[in-house]
Structure 1
Amino acid sequence: MDKPEALTEILLSSYNGAAWLDPQIASILGQTHGNLALRIRDDGSTDATPDRLAEWAARDPRIAWRRGSRNLGPCGSFFRLVDDISPDAAYAGFADQDDVWEADKIARAVAALAALPAGMPGLYCARVVIVDEALMRRGLSPLPARGPSLANALVENIAIGCTIVMNRPAIALLRERWPTPPVFHDWWAYQVIAALGRVIYDPRPALKYRQHGGNAIGAGYTPLDRLLGKVRRQLTSAQSDLRRHQASELRRLFGDRLSPADRAAIDDLLDSEARLPARLRYALTGKAHRQHWLDTLAYKALYVLRGV
């Protein structure tokens, strides 16, 4: 007799997404992985989203949804969904409200995570096909040339949230200690699991990543668009503050569990920024890096100017 498929819960935070929900929910429910539940938290929608969710839930018992008591923003809402993952779920993944998934997305993720050693926290993420509002193909997300690592996760996120699937040890690890205030849920998961588990990057696209005016965080259509977007984000003080806060929270919450090398990498990044000579030294010898050499060069130049 075949072993039954492990339960995988898909976590979706909705907000004014009525225009996009139907094809996305259909693609989630149509996964080849058979044992699947869709858990939705609506983050205060003022459009027809709650009505659409109620209609879907009435038709399919795999869907459970609720209205949040207040608007938490996408990161806070996803953290709340992670806290509510059922004890029966062996895996859980994030979903945006406006994409369309490949039918084998979850099956591929579960197969990759199931191959990890027992008890190892694991996070699967993947490449995406970038599409416009009408789902017309406009490009592919870039492949991470240097691969996933904590040294990369400290300054760049390659784990696009809507592609992430995690195993039970990773879920348990994240739920132990939440950062305050919340940070990007996908970037935080990438950092924690890169430090204390295994991150698996699938180069085969897992979904159609729809770009439109309402994206919380999007991707440009062309390599030039994406490069300019990265430059703009790196130039903002908000991006620098976010990197500093995430690295500081990782050290505060999990510093006692990091390897000596990983703890040193975080210490070097944060403790070198106080003085210009130390920043110059870190720019030349520090471990933190982005995936593309040009991005790394730009990041290190900005680090010299103002820190993390």
Structure 2
Amino acid sequence: MTSSLPAPPLVSVVMCIYNGERFLKDQIDSILQQTYTNIELVCVDDQSTDRSVAIIQEYQRQDSRVKLFENERNLGFNKNFERGFSLCTGEFIAISDQDDVWHSHKIEDLIFYIGNSLLVYSNSELIDEDGKKLHQNLESSIKHVHDPSYKGFLEYNFVTGHTCLFKRELLQYITPIPKNVLYYDWWIGFTAAYVGKVFYLDKILTQYRLHSNSVIQKLKSSHTDKETEKGKRYAQALSFAEADFVKPKDKKEILNFLRIKLNASKDLFSSTNCYVHLLKNHRQYYPWYKKSFISKLNFIRRQCK
């Protein structure tokens, strides 16, 4: 008597699209050719004006795993991903950019290593717009962290969306995405670290494409003055503190962190208080800082100006 093995869990891959025709085929091909085959590719187009929709429709005719949803108005990347998450039916959800290339075993590896963690993320190598390797990876500039504290996300994000796979249960915490959140993956990283565990898989599983037309690259290169950027990050951290799932004692911790930094420029006592507090907690606040400890001391000093 033979018994059939249960089907592996469905993985929903969310790809949000906006005028991505140039690189779209490379990315879709790399997803559909994964060694882990029980997937659905949820494509959400945010009012593209190029051939993006037509390209996805071509794939739909060839592969039933490809699903296309078109927004009636432009939502922007945060809300577009939020809509994409709501359309997923899988037990696991993976995030895809529209212009990268995945290694063929990416999903298989992430599924294997997630274990009892809520989210797993990995490393990526950088390529240029022609697909040429730049001999750098995401860890060239920041340190990726295994099982980080939520406090590690108050200043910076090191969980990049396109490297992530998470369990469906995380959706109840990450949606809706608060309006003051700068980047959806920053919010996901903070939330996953707070309500569960985050596993870092030290493998390069994606070729991450850098090019001038990337939405994220445009945002990062926009001419925003330091005070405006500081205000936006302050508002985002407030959103973290005010999340429904954050316990009162942790909300108090976040607000105290913000108060200390906000008051640091008032006088020497406040500046010193800020420096001492950040130094005392530097392993939790700045686990992603990659340079020497002396450099970190100078970095902390600059945070208290």
Matched to 2:162, the amino acid is C
Distance 2:37 2:119 in 1: 20
RMSD: 2.6
**Does residue 1:244 correspond to 2:247, yes or no?**
no
**Residue equivalent to 1:266:** 254
1:130 to 126, 130, 143: 126
**Does residue 1:275 correspond to 2:273, yes or no?**
no
Alpha-carbon distance change, 293 to 284 in structure 1, aligned in 2, over 3 angstroms? farther
Alpha-carbon distance change, 246 to 144 in structure 1, aligned in 2, over 3 angstroms? same
Distance 2:61 2:227 in 1: 46
Alignment of 1:77-116 (within 5 A): 77-86=80-89, 89-113=90-114, 115-116=115-116
Offset at residue 199 of structure 1 (A): 0.9
Per-residue Cα deviation, 1:28-75 (whole angstroms, up to 9, x for no partner): 011111210000111111111111111111211101112111112211
Q: Tell whether the 8 Å contact from 1:126 to 1:163 is kept in structure 2 after alignment.
A: yes
1:14 to 9, 17, 40: 17
Q: Tell whether the 8 Å contact from 1:196 to 1:258 is kept in structure 2 after alignment.
A: no
- Judge which range, 145-154 or 21-30, deviates more: 145-154
Offset at residue 198 of structure 1 (A): 0.8
Offset at residue 163 of structure 1 (A): 0.8
| SS of equivalent residue, structure 1 residue 272 | helix
Matched to 1:167, the amino acid is K
Matched to 1:278, the amino acid is S
Distance 2:185 2:259 in 1: 25
Offset at residue 183 of structure 1 (A): 3.2
Per-residue Cα deviation, 1:171-230 (whole angstroms, up to 9, x for no partner): 22213x5312453110110011111111111111110001111122249xxxxxxxxx89
Distance 2:257 2:78 in 1: 25
| SS of equivalent residue, structure 1 residue 129 | strand
**Does residue 1:284 correspond to 2:273, yes or no?**
no
**Residue equivalent to 1:144:** 143
Offset at residue 97 of structure 1 (A): 0.4
Offset at residue 169 of structure 1 (A): 1.8
User: Identity percentage over the alignment?
Assistant: 23
**Residue equivalent to 1:196:** 195
Q: Tell whether the 8 Å contact from 2:144 to 2:200 is kept in structure 1 after alignment.
A: no
TM-score, normalized by length of structure 1? 0.84
Distance 1:125 1:64 in 2: 24
Q: Tell whether the 8 Å contact from 1:268 to 1:282 is kept in structure 2 after alignment.
A: no
Offset at residue 234 of structure 1 (A): 10
Distance 1:85 1:297 in 2: 44
Alpha-carbon distance change, 265 to 27 in structure 1, aligned in 2, over 3 angstroms? same
Alpha-carbon distance change, 56 to 237 in structure 1, aligned in 2, over 3 angstroms? farther
**Does residue 1:210 correspond to 2:209, yes or no?**
yes
Distance 2:298 2:77 in 1: 29
Alpha-carbon distance change, 34 to 252 in structure 1, aligned in 2, over 3 angstroms? same
Matched to 2:103, the amino acid is E
Matched to 1:107, the amino acid is E
Q: Tell whether the 8 Å contact from 1:125 to 1:159 is kept in structure 2 after alignment.
A: yes
TM-score, normalized by length of structure 2? 0.84
Distance 1:98 1:252 in 2: 34
**Residue equivalent to 1:160:** 160
Number of matched residues? 285
Alpha-carbon distance change, 259 to 91 in structure 1, aligned in 2, over 3 angstroms? farther
Distance 2:228 2:60 in 1: 38
Matched to 1:80, the amino acid is R
**Residue equivalent to 1:225:** none
**Residue equivalent to 2:186:** 187
